[in-house]
């Protein structure tokens, strides 16, 4: 067996998924928490050139992020030949809840998802989910996952590239070369972070620019960071990072538009500097991000700001690129559904944040996942 090391942080959902994958495949690995061990963090950065986790080394090979395709190539197993009753794409609150309801209806069910927990896992604190006064997104999604894994269904970590139809069956092709067939499909793949749209963005991703503050935040202890955004997630990230970083800059395009509970906590912090009516117009650095350019929207004045890290919290866009021409979508690329989660195609259902429902909340997504599963069951028994 090769020597496998996983560099991770405590609250990183993608790190947990790497470990879960390796454990399912019976692969022994050595775990390193770079959020608490500065020397190991330095070693990880030297090996990978990354300020982001997870990083996996397999002998001399360095794998950055949760690279499902490469991990499957190294350790995965060939699967195929089975026709499922329901195939669920996505394992966030909607997809996992749909899985529970499908399993309870004794439907042969497969969940295929790039990750477990979706964007909910990246929440520092959730205070409006019934049954918990406060719980981290990672902890809540871990409880969802534990319940799903206790049931008779299959869960594959992979990225769906194609959804097609062949007769009375649907065919799903994935990034790792997998091909799965099912009699019904539930779309629940959620959203992905919106990009800044600044030149050099891809170059610095993982090299100072992060889209997962819960994953990478601990790597910026006692450093200077900037957060872009003015909504709930941006303020929540600023509040949490103020206890980790030495100095936090909040860059807000117009004004702060967050719930009062976050605004009050934000205003108590003394090491957060707010830049309103301002955007990030440039990134600079060599191998790592070293600074950003701030541009005032009214005057056009630009200012250089040295930072060690930059967190983008400017919203999310639906993961629906592979659905073009498959189901009806609205101008925002959200899947159009009726009140019972039916899409424009019989046998395809949808739930959660990828749909055109107005409320984008964890509790709403879970409820919609249950509805989609029950609608899929009704479709199948007919």
- Pick the closest to residue 97 from 382, 380, 369, 300 (CA basis): 369
Asked if residue 305 and residue 268 are part of one domain, the reply reads: yes
Asked if residue 26 and residue 121 are part of one domain, the reply reads: no
- Three-state secondary structure call for residue 107: coil
* Six-digit token string for 318: 């639906």
DSSP letters of 69-86?
Answer: HHHHHHH------PEEEE
Question: Domain of 108: which CATH number?
Answer: 3.50.50.60
Asked if residue 210 and residue 154 are part of one domain, the reply reads: no
Asked if residue 293 and residue 262 are part of one domain, the reply reads: yes
- In this prediction, residue 77 carries a pLDDT of 66
pLDDT tens sequence across 253-262: 999 999 999 9
In this prediction, residues 12-30 reach a mean pLDDT of 85
Q: Distance between CA atoms of 141 and 379, rounded to whole angstroms?
A: 28
Asked if residue 187 and residue 88 are part of one domain, the reply reads: yes
Asked if residue 361 and residue 218 are part of one domain, the reply reads: no
Question: Domain of 47: which CATH number?
Answer: 3.40.30.10
- Pick the closest to residue 19 from 145, 134, 177, 190 (CA basis): 145
Domain end marker among 262, 287, 312: 312
* Six-digit token string for 239: 């509040």
- In this prediction, residue 238 carries a pLDDT of 95
- In this prediction, residue 50 carries a pLDDT of 86
* Six-digit token string for 347: 């046998």
* Six-digit token string for 79: 């699967």
Name the most confidently modeled range: 49-53, 163-167, 272-276: 272-276
pLDDT tens sequence across 89-124: 999 999 999 999 999 999 999 999 988 888 888 787
Asked if residue 307 and residue 322 are part of one domain, the reply reads: no
- 209-210 β-sheet, strand order: 209-210, 309-312, 224-228, 247-251, 272-275
**Catalytic positions:** 212, 215-216
Question: Three-state SS across the chain?
Answer: CCCEEEEECCCCHHHHHHHHHHHHCCCCCEEEECCCCHHHHHHHHHHHCCCCCCEEEECCEEEECCCHHHHHHHHCCCCCCCEEEEEEECCCHHHHHHHHHHHHCCCCEEEEECCCCHHHHHCCCECCCCCCCCECHHHHHHHHHHHHHCCCCEEEECCEEEEEEECCEEEEEECCCCEEEEEEEEECCCEEECCCCCCCHHHHECCCEECCHHHHHHHHCCCEEEEECCCHHHHHHHHHHCCCCCEEEEECCCCCCCCHHHHHHHHCCCCEEEECCEEEEEEEECCCEEEEEEEECCCCCEEEEECCEEEECCCEEECCHHHCCCCCECCCCCECCCCCCECCCCCEEECCCCECCCCCCHHHHHHHHHHHHHHHHHHHHC
- Residue 306: is its pLDDT beyond 90? yes
pLDDT tens sequence across 131-159: 998 898 889 999 999 999 899 999 888 88
CA end-to-end span of the chain, whole Å?
A: 49
- In this prediction, residue 72 carries a pLDDT of 82
Asked if residue 135 and residue 235 are part of one domain, the reply reads: no
Q: Is 200 within 8 Å of 88 (Cβ atoms)? A: no
- Domain of residue 20: give its range: 4-75
In this prediction, residues 234-252 reach a mean pLDDT of 95
Asked if residue 246 and residue 219 are part of one domain, the reply reads: yes
Listed in sequence order, the DSSP H helices in 91-136 are 93-104
Domain end marker among 282, 312, 342: 312
Domain end marker among 53, 75, 97: 75
Given phi > 0 = left and psi -120 to 50 = alpha, else beta, which region is 10? alpha
Asked if residue 337 and residue 299 are part of one domain, the reply reads: no
Q: Report the chain's mean pLDDT, rounded to a whole number.
A: 92
pTM attached to this predicted model: 0.78
Asked if residue 283 and residue 376 are part of one domain, the reply reads: no
Instruction: Please tell me the total count of domains within the chain.
Output: 3
- In this prediction, residue 80 carries a pLDDT of 58
Asked if residue 103 and residue 22 are part of one domain, the reply reads: no
pLDDT tens sequence across 157-186: 888 999 999 889 999 998 877 889 999 999
Name the most confidently modeled range: 62-66, 128-132, 295-299: 295-299
């Amino acid at each position: 067996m090769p020597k496998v090391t996983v560099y991770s942080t405590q609250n990183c959902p993608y790190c947990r998924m790497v470990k879960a994958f390796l454990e399912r495949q019976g692969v022994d690995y050595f775990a390193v928490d770079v959020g608490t061990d500065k020397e190991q963090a330095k070693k990880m950065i030297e090996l990978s050139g990354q300020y982001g986790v997870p990083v996996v080394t397999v002998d001399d090979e360095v794998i950055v992020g949760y690279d499902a395709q490469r991990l499957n190539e190294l350790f995965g197993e060939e699967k195929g030949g089975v026709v499922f009753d329901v195939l669920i794409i996505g394992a966030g609150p909607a997809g996992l809840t749909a899985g529970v309801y499908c399993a309870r209806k004794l439907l042969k069910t497969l969940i295929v998802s790039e990750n477990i927990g979706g964007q909910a896992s990246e929440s520092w604190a959730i205070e409006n989910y019934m049954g918990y006064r406060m719980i981290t997104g990672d902890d809540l999604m871990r409880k969802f996952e534990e319940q799903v894994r206790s049931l008779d269904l299959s869960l594959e970590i992979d990225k769906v590239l194609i959804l097609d139809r062949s007769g009375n069956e649907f065919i799903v092709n994935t990034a790792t070369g997998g091909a799965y067939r099912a009699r019904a499909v539930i779309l629940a793949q959620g959203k992905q972070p919106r990009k800044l749209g600044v030149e050099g963005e891809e170059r610095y991703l993982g090299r100072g620019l992060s889209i997962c503050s819960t994953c990478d935040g601990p790597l910026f202890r006692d450093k200077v960071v900037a957060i872009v955004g003015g909504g709930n997630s941006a303020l929540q990230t600023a509040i949490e990072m103020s206890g980790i970083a030495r100095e936090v800059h909040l860059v807000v395009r117009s004004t702060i538009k967050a719930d009062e509970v976050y605004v009050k906590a934000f205003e108590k912090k003394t090491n957060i500097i707010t830049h309103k009516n301002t955007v990030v117009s440039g990134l600079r650095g060599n191998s790592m991000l070293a600074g950003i350019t701030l541009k005032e929207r009214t005057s056009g004045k630009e200012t250089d700001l040295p930072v060690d890290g930059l967190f983008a919290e400017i919203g999310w866009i639906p993961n629906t690129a592979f659905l073009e021409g498959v189901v009806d979508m609205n101008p925002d690329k959200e899947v159009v559904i009726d009140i019972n989660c039916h899409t424009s195609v019989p046998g395809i259902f949808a739930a959660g944040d990828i749909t055109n429902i107005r409320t984008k909340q964890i509790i709403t997504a879970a409820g919609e996942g249950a509805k989609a599963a029950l609608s899929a069951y009704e479709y199948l028994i007919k």
